Chains A and B, each alone.
Chain A
């Protein structure tokens, strides 16, 4: 399409010699395989510590939980390396055509798990509760 011409030209100038498998696949792939890999959408570890929050007097178990979070770029081509929805791929294409107006897809959780928490209430009754969708097991582009 006519829209991204200037940007594609810039990409072409930026790209170095494509290496091995990416030869012939175009500048975007070559770019991705180098520096973009570090900023690609992926899961990062983040532990929420109930102990650090000073909550041991009312939370019996666990001491904390690995909540994790998703962060990174959702750049073309999505399906080559990560868990992306079909719509995210369409969104990427539309973004490529109209980068000023259409954002890239979001890096967000694709698989979430539950945890159980055991705690006292104000009356010293004990509650065991299952919380769904508390732990990020996998990230992807939406």
Chain B
């Protein structure tokens, strides 16, 4: 239809045959740069934290584009869309403005282990970064964990949340780690963001080095006398896979195209 809702004389107005429809779908997929139609299996048919976060980014971009077209304000303001993990910082908006692609990764493994010899709890997380399109370079990456306010027992305590990049695994002893850490109050609630840009770059360049992340929590209390005691992530209020959908941990990476994509003739 043209602007006046009249069928343009040059337009083919007939129902497409099945194979024509399939060809048309293939062409549109090709425009989107996809070799085939994805077949995802989102759990429960509902969005968890990662799609909600990404939808928040999408709305931010769309509103910006709309404003630009309409000549209104061209400045980013973070959206408050609780309980989804909203954009929290202006630094993230800079990543977003600079990115050609943003991708969130599903957490593939989440085992909580207690090493009795070292009296240490830790939780493992794994992300598959092998499906990133060629020519995309990571400009920033974050590991996001949701922390809920914990029970009275710890209310006035602080915790030390340690996120380790597993560098090398050994059969009979503990793995080698690269450490990122964060000190926070037990009563704090919200998303914890850990910068894992260097780690993700390594994982993209060398998938064999992708041995995941480990998270452990210990008390570092101003009040508690048990400073340095390892506690379970649930005790510390860290939401896991079995928690609320919108609070599940995930990883997000921002990409910039480093190569010119040329569509090949089919």
- A contacts, CB < 8 Å to B: 44-45, 48, 53, 55, 57-58, 60-62, 71, 113-114, 116-131, 134
Contacts and interface: CB of A to CB of B under 8 A. Distances in A.
Contacts of B8: 44, 71
Contacts of B2: 44-45
Interface string B125-162: 00010010000000000000000000000000000000
Contacts of A126: 50-51, 54, 103-104
Given A55-B37, A58-B39, A119-B38, A128 B65 contact: no
A118 B131 contact: no
Nearest to B69: A113
Given A121-B38, A123-B106, A126-B51, A71 B10 contact: yes
A123 B131 contact: yes
A128 B59 CA distance: 11
B40 to A, nearest CB: 3
A116 B104 contact: no
Contacts of A116: 58, 61-62, 65
A124 B37 contact: no
Contacts of A60: 47, 51, 54-55, 58
B40 A118 contact: no
Q: Dominant SS at the A interface?
A: strand
A136 B185 CA distance: 52
B25 A53 contact: yes
A113 B70 CA distance: 13
Contacts, number: 94
Contacts of A127: 101-103
Nearest to B129: A125
B101 A58 contact: no
From A118, A121, A123, A125, residue with most partner B Cβ within 10 Å: A125
B101 A128 contact: yes
6 contacts: A61-B58, A116-B62, A126-B103, A127-B103, A129-B101, A130-B101
A45 B1 contact: yes
B105 interface: yes
B171 interface: no
A115 to B, nearest CB: 8
Contacts of B131: 121-123, 125
A121 B25 CA distance: 17
Nearest to B136: A129
A128 B102 CA distance: 5
A125 B105 contact: yes
Nearest first, the 4 closest Cβ-Cβ pairs linking A and B are A120-B40, A128-B102, A126-B54, A124-B40
B10 A124 contact: no
A55 B24 CA distance: 13
Contact of A124 (B11, B42, B69): B42
B155 to A, nearest CB: 36
Interface in B60-109: 61-62, 65, 69, 99-106
Given A58-B40, A60-B58, A120-B40, 18 more contacts: A58-B38, A58-B39, A60-B47, A61-B55, A71-B10, A113-B69, A117-B32, A118-B55, A118-B58, A121-B40, A122-B38, A124-B43, A125-B104, A125-B105, A128-B57, A128-B58, A128-B101, A130-B101
A128 B128 contact: no
B38 A114 contact: no
A48 to B, nearest CB: 6
Given A118-B54, A123-B128, A126-B54, A58 B100 contact: no
